[in-house]
Amino acid sequence: MKFANFISGPLAVRPAGAHHDIVISSRVRLARNVKGRPFPGWAKKADRLAVLEVIKPPVDALPEMDDAFSEYLQDLSATEKQILVERHLISREHAAKSTGSAVVMNREQTVSIMVNEEDHLRMQSIRPGFQLKAVHRAIDEIDTRLEDTLDYAFSPKLGFLTACLTNVGTGMRASAMLHLPALVLDEKVNQVIQAVNKIGLAVRGLYGEGSEAMGNLFQISNQTTLGEREEDILGRLNKVIEQIIEHEQNARATLLQKKSTTLLDQIGRAFGILMHAHSMTSKEALNLLSFLRLGTDLGFFPADRRQPLDELFTETQPAHLQRGSTQKLGAEERDALRADIIRVKLKELPGPDSSRLAAAG
């Protein structure tokens, strides 16, 4: 499949999980390596190419990859790779790779397999909403099927062996992307992050490790992979996420009742700036769009506006803006284009309906 066809394919067909107002997406990735071959970071180019030819055919042959986008990384442009990063289909590390690495993903963009990232195989399943167990099941099936052809590096004591010791054991990292604007507004999010860290889970920004939290988006994931069964790790994560969802819901209720002016002010300002700005950085856009999303969740905007709004979160990212242009856009041009796209897409959006506040109070 061509990149343009793949990337413009419909995303709406992806089955949404529960709590999709707060849980943007659920994701599980597995790290696997082929026995007796050096890990990609240490392997010579010839080794990487050789292992790629061992791995890619069975991956391409998976029934999930029937109508797949499958490409060697040297055949993708920097912008194309960055678009995949912005869609959370490949990691930032993988986008930096070229010859000797590949990516294979299904048409629905729910399964993505990176070959020769930090490990020989990094496979992930990602879906909207809160559905970690279903997402795990999907990627686990693929993993089991690949065992028919591939000999994984596995030790009975340490489990699946990975390049980094932090992944050894299950090789599994499960995460959920949460939208927590009320906890941020209520200044409670730091408490939540600290509590989550204390029980051995990680909180990260929009693009994972080392990235900044923007747009009130937080990624919660397991830190440890050894000494615990997959189901137990997922169970622990699920429980914590359920609690965070509850905290966010409570914070939203509190804001509606006790700080309705602050709330309406934030949403109204976000609306005003998004509707009238002519230059906007991606960080500002994400932060403002976050408040419109919250406004939609609270009923200040018509529910049918949710999808175009959600699309803007991705479409205003730098590489997505770049894709329509033949020449490289500078930061200023991108900021102007971003503001234009937002204004056009939100043109029909009516102002926040504050009568909802009275109803809630």
Residues contributing to the site for other proteins (CB under 8 A)? 33, 35-39, 41-42, 118, 140, 143-144, 147-166, 168-170, 172, 197, 200, 202, 209-210, 223-230
CB of 198 to other proteins, least distance (A): 9
Residue 243's H or E segment, with its range, is helix 230-258
Query: Residue 110 or residue 221: which is nearer to other proteins going by CB?
Result: 221
CA distance 198 to 312: 34
Rounded least distance, CB 143 to other proteins, Å:
8
Given a contact cutoff of 8 angstroms between Cβ atoms, the answer to whether 78 and 50 are in contact is: no
Instruction: Output the smallest distance, CB 43 to other proteins, in A.
Output: 8
C-beta closer to other proteins: residue 144 or 326: 144
What distance in Å separates the CA atoms of residue 279 and residue 277, rounded to the nearest whole number?
6
Closest CB to other proteins among residues 230, 248? 230
120/338 with CB nearer other proteins: 120
- Measured from the CB of residue 200, what is the shortest distance to other proteins in angstroms? 7
Q: In 308-338, which positions are buried (b, 16+ CB within 10 angstroms) versus exposed (e)? A: ebbebbebbbbbbbbbeeeeebeeeebbbbb
What DSSP assignment string belongs to 68-80? Answer: -EEEEGGGS-HHH
Work out how close the CB of 171 gets to other proteins at its nearest, in angstroms, rounded to a whole number: 9
Closest approach of Cβ 75 to other proteins, in Å? 26
Q: Report the residue number, 93 or 242, with the smaller CB distance to other proteins.
A: 93
Cβ atoms within 10 A of the Cβ of 246, count? 11
**CA distance linking residue 339 with residue 330, whole number of Å:** 14
Which residues contact residue 133 at a Cβ distance below 8 angstroms, ignoring those fewer than 6 apart? Answer: 234, 238
Ordered DSSP codes for 209-221: TT----TTEEEEE
Q: In angstroms, rounded to a whole number, what is the distance separating the alpha carbons of residues 58 and 73?
A: 18
Closer residue to other proteins in complex, CB, 227/351: 227
209 vs 246 by CB, closer to other proteins: 209
Query: Minimum CB separation from other proteins for residue 287, in Å?
Result: 20
